[in-house]
Structure 1
């Protein structure tokens, strides 16, 4: 089932060069789609269009059968949550507990149920011991976890992560990646991750590669990384494991051992 349908989308800032140029793609329900591209490729602009923070100049965005417009944007926002690159921009509570409670209060959840749900969400993101902490007392990774818990509290089917790992250390990236996998597999959320990090992107089901507001590649990570010119076309670095795999599969001696090649490929997709 198609969850998100984007057709011939166009957008420009101040009537200058188009940031989004005639963009079209579909996202299936329950999929994890990663939108990748270098700075200026249109990734974050697209995220803002998908949640109605920006209005398209032309084309359409259809989410769960609702076409984005002034009448439907609030209903669509009930279906789509976003975690920004800098979670400080979306904190509304004075403590972790109050921040998560905000979404539940908006849904008029009774107090006893609210306490139960807050406990569930902080356990999911591993932040139970920080319930009474103020956001400014948290590390970057901890803030991202709270932002995820807050998004979960809104109970939206679709979650967008806009460069959510860019400010984190390797351990933080690993933790957030595992949270995303869990949200997708266990909680059946449709996930859109927006990044320039191909190492992170290779975990997704599907990749959409943008350059100057246009789709230049679309497919599974295997399909996208099979294009020899992807690094040159996007100014992005191919993950190390995949570069090793590419060298091995072209070595006349090593490529005879198909098991080795397959093992390297499988390893590169999990790291």
Structure 2
């Protein structure tokens, strides 16, 4: 399934993609307050939802605004840093992780996710605005002390995240939290694709374009720490609650790694694309 959050008549609704467009879960007779509610109840209602889709008349929503699939995450997003070798190499002169042996984790505060067509804000104290296309993973149930082999059973699905970063703020504080957590710095979407729809999560092209110039191009096969490894490691001694979102790192090609750097400017368009999920397009304003 492909799950969406939409705004209809100034009210948020959860929708599912059908043959002719998007259909509200409410119109299918399934009442959920938001995507978080669906995530928490997903295993309970999955089979009923599939049955209702198959037996519905596909009455689609006519007029809607597409929102981030998870508009307000239940917790900070957990992020995997420098999880593609080419990104490690390109940023080594700024922060050297070429000899790292273990995964690098940090978190990203998201008061509200930015919409698929939302504006990435320009702040006067940020002089080095950067983009990072990443595969996002959403958990459907609490994970504690899980094995690598069992970790896939905790995944609801996948989305696209642009881990927008203020590099000068990130480097100023010698950690990444504030420079990645400013309001508007987490575009997400366009949807959540459930795990059963992705045949091989480690064979997806992942790309980012700025004003139609390709900046990033790789494949999820190049991840250093795999998704199941991260879930398992993070869950040792720490409960990953249902609804946890994990951003799995970005490939090479970020603005900071270019010579000279080509940071985002007001008016730029950033398009993040992951195979079998879709694309996420945001203007810089």
Instruction: Give the TM-score normalised by structure 2.
Output: 0.23
- Higher helix fraction (1 or 2): 1
- Higher strand fraction (1 or 2): 2
Which entry has the higher C-alpha Rg, 1 or 2?
1
